[in-house]
Amino acid sequence: MSRVDAHHHVWDLTVREQSWMAGPELDPIRRNFAVEDLAPLAAAADVTATVLVQTVGLVEETVEFLEVAAGNELVAGVVGWVDLTADDVATALSGLLARPDGPYLKGIRHQVHDEPDLDWLLRPDVQHGLAAVAEAGLVYDLLTKTPHLPAAIATARACPQLTFVVDHISKPVIGEPLEPWASQLRELAALPNVTCKLSGMVTEASWTDWKPADLQTYADVVLDAFGPDRVMFGSDWPVCLLAATYAQVVDTAETLTARLSPAEREAVFSTTATRTYKLS
């Protein structure tokens, strides 16, 4: 079965620093990563298409990623960044989409989990920006943690015309109590315009001694709440390398979805991402 990896990154530290990459614990990934580094790992895992996701709040990075996608057969789509609070957000989006490589832009993301205002998504200027994302025919990736979920629920409910994709199952700390994360994620999943990435879990567990069984309960909550048709696999490479190899992440996702039927597994590993991001 060919697979889609719906979530990975690249960066070049000679072009710009990654401000989030603070602390010695991140030293293993404090180097350059390119699609060319991912390609052999993806091929070995039968991954034939990927979605390249923003890492910093700069339009310049989005332009660079569109150029990467246009020059590489593996990358089928880009989730970029624009300033959702800007008055000219619609103009910024149309400018990106009008580029020769603009069709690779599939979605927009902002590091909401770094915003001190837990209700940042509910700000009128942000809501205006999200409406522009919907009008542009793009999806919006929700990068949140549990404290941000109430605002995410209210936002998805207020913007039924916009498709939301929850990144990294909203980053619950693996090993801590499931609540309130589980109940709030189920409430979010009750909205038909929300999908969820089965991604980012290995780095929310103990990096040195996690095992697939530690993640199973969380994966089951996601699969039961959204259903396989609204769940998609993502590796979060190269961030995942802090806790696991690319192959380990793929194998773990296979283990976590072992109870699904072949058609349901195909949804998680391919068709949900292809449909949601309109990949070709």
pLDDT at 22: 87
Has residue 1 got a pLDDT over 90? no
pLDDT score for 170: 98
Taking the mean position of all CA atoms in its chain, how far away is CA 158? Answer: 21
Residues 6+ apart with CB under 8 A from 60: none
Q: Give CA separation, 86 vs 43, 127, 130, 264, in Å.
A: 40, 11, 11, 40
**Residues comprising the chain, all counted:** 280
| The pLDDT value given to residue 52 | 98
CA separation for the pair 114, 112 (Å, rounded)? 5
Tell me what the pLDDT averaged over the chain comes to.
97
**Mean pLDDT calculated for residue range 214-233:** 98
At 126-151, the pLDDT tens digits run 999 999 999 999 999 999 999 999 99
Q: Residues 62-85: what's their mean pLDDT?
A: 98
User: In this predicted structure, what is the pLDDT of residue 151?
Assistant: 97
Confidence of residue 226 (pLDDT cuts 50, 70, 90): very high
Beta bridge mates, 75: 50
Checking if the pLDDT of 279 tops 90, the result is yes
- C-alpha–C-alpha distance, residues 131 and 134, integer Å: 5
- Write the CA distances from 224 to 154, 243, 252, 256, integer angstroms: 21, 26, 18, 12
Percent of the chain with pLDDT over 70: 100
In the predicted structure, residue 215 carries a pLDDT above the cut 90: yes
**280 pLDDT band (50/70/90 cuts)?**
confident
Short-list 227, 201, 232, CA closest to 214: 201
Q: How far is CA 248 from CA 27, 86, 102, 240, in A?
A: 20, 41, 33, 10
HEC profile of the chain: CCEEEEEECCECCCCCCCCCCCCHHHHHHCCCECHHHHHHHHHHCCEEEEEEECCCCCHHHHHHHHHHHHCCCCEEEEEECCCCCCCCHHHHHHHHHCCCCHHHEEEEEECHHHCCCCCHHHCHHHHHHHHHHHHCCCEEEECCCHHHHHHHHHHHHHCCCCCEEEHHHHCCCECECCCCHHHHHHHHHCCCCEEEEECCCHHHCCCCCCCHHHHHHHHHHHHHHHCHHHEEECCCECHHHHCCCHHHHHHHHHHHCCCCCHHHHHHHHHHHHHHHCCCC
Over residues 173-177, the mean pLDDT reads 94
- 159-169 in b/e form (b: 16+ CB < 10 A) is beebbbbbbbb
Phi, then psi, of 176 in degrees rounded to 5: -90, 170
The mean per-residue pLDDT over the stretch 70-74 comes to: 97
In this prediction, residues 33-62 reach a mean pLDDT of 98
Which residues, 6+ apart, have CB-to-CB distance to 278 below 8 Å? 77, 106
pTM of the model: 0.97
Kindly give the pairing relationship between strand 194-198 and strand 3-8: unpaired
The whole-number pLDDT of residue 78 equals 98
Q: What is the pLDDT of residues 227-265, one digit of tens each?
A: 999 999 999 999 999 999 999 999 999 999 999 999 999
